[in-house]
Structure 1
């Protein structure tokens, strides 16, 4: 397909889960760095469009990217090719979870397990599968890049529920497998945050937030922009880095 807009040298980044606290910050960082951003969303059309209108630069768009629907992702890939004629970066930020105590085995029902694994593991793979052909043609210095937003829960096995932790461990393993499979044209990296002080986290009990911060050697929670900076570094600066997990956790495993 030919792009519907005039050729543009600015690279293109697709970000799933763009309307969340982390996703929106990542979109802003990429736009500020000169990328044209396709902000992917599941159902929040209005929120995604409002985000796009706030991004610096031009050429951004909001596109439906329901990561559990492979047919919809094939249409997304066609739309990216039609609009831009290229795709240089994919940031898999879409994810889901629900708080269930780790010892509450009955509370972690099959429907939740299937939803978490489909969104957090199958979803990133499906996005890579849909966009791989475009990514392989990127002329971005260092090659195209896939960044999977993981979690320190993959390492510590402490998080919102048992399956969430397992899903992020699987995502890190997927990062390594895909980095091998897609080299040298596409680099694949996990960015692994600790607890991030998003609006959602700020709405939670202050005593719990303080306890979480105290478990980190740096004595605080991560800020959303710090995760975005790590994503941008993986794309722009760490050109000889692939198949690895970049922690942005304040040293949490040290405690």
Structure 2
């Protein structure tokens, strides 16, 4: 019997790779996107298999999450896997406290922390029914405290801590894990300053950045093979914390 996976932020570079990996491994994939409908539909059309779907969703809107859950229930869809991949940030130098405005902090925390909790809470009946799994996409920044801004680092640390709390609270019915990438070699990163990108590679013991498919494989591993693991983080960072 096919399984259903729900992936938030599925139209981003990493989200799209996760959707493809799951579809290639017999999941029926439902993914959400924030605003780029054309891009989402192209990703949807590229997925192997049938019965995949995409939905527009602002993950910071709890009522919208509830509405999505109700729509899926009307179609008799119970998810087996929830991947909380949607996230947000913006670059603010860590030393520039004045530039990290309250509105930026609130947005980061609502999308990166509150939304994964709201998604898990809303879809918990399905996850319990299917003895399912929740995977939160965090970041190396949760441990290194180095990243796009201080609030982003804090949000990913909070999400890893929440992964542990949820794993304890939802056991034995639902497993909850985190996958924590290092800097990923997405199209966005490839468009940044070459010197900075080279510095990031050299600061990583494995001397390169993560590939989106490597992170997607970690998600599949957590969902399908690490069946006695919960409340833990799988790092896909090339050993970067060893250099800090």
TM-score normalised over the length of structure 2: 0.98
1:221-252, CA deviations, whole angstroms, 9 ceiling, x for partnerless residues? 00000000000000000000000011000001
Distance 1:73 1:233 in 2: 26
Q: Could you say what secondary structure the match of 2:6 adopts?
A: strand
Unaligned runs of 5+ in 2: none
Q: Deviations over 1:6-64 (max 9, x none)?
A: xxx21000000001000000000000000000011122222212211110011100112
Q: Say if 2:86 is the partner of 1:94.
A: yes
* Residue pair 1:42, 1:65 contacting (<8 A) in 2 also: yes
Give the length in aligned residue pairs: 243
Which residue is 1:81 aligned to?
Answer: 73
| Counterparts of residues 135-174 of structure 1 (less than 5 Å) | 135-138=127-130, 143-174=131-162
Residue 179 (structure 1) aligned with residue 171 (structure 2): no
Q: What pairs up with 1:48-59 in 2 under 5 angstroms?
A: 48-59=40-51
Q: Which of 33, 37, 41 pairs up with 2:29? A: 37
Report the alpha carbon displacement of residue 86 of structure 1 after superposing the two structures with TM.
1.2
Aligned counterpart, 2:213: 225
Name the residue aligned to 1:6: none
Aligned residue number for residue 248 of structure 1: 236
TM superposition shift of 1:168 = 0.1
TM-score w.r.t. length of structure 1: 0.94
Q: What displacement does 1:84 show?
A: 4.2
Match of 1:4 in 2: none
Do the aligned residues in 2 keep the contact of 1:64 with 1:76 (CA within 8 Å)?
no
8 Å CA contact 1:89, 1:146 repeated in 2: yes
For 1:36 and 1:66, the matched residues in 2 are separated by 22
Whether the 8 Å CA contact 1:81–1:87 is kept in 2: the answer is: no
Query: CA-to-partner distance for each residue in 1:103-144, whole Å, 9 max, x for gaps?
Result: 000110111000000000001001101101111111xxxx31
Query: What is the CA distance between 1:66 and its match in structure 2?
Result: 1.5
Matched, 1:117 2:109: yes
| 1:133 and 2:125 are equivalent in the alignment | yes
Per the alignment, residue 27 of structure 1 pairs with 19
1:65 corresponds in structure 2 to 57
Q: Is the 8 A contact 1:196 1:221 kept in 2?
A: yes
Q: Which residue is equivalent to 1:5?
A: none
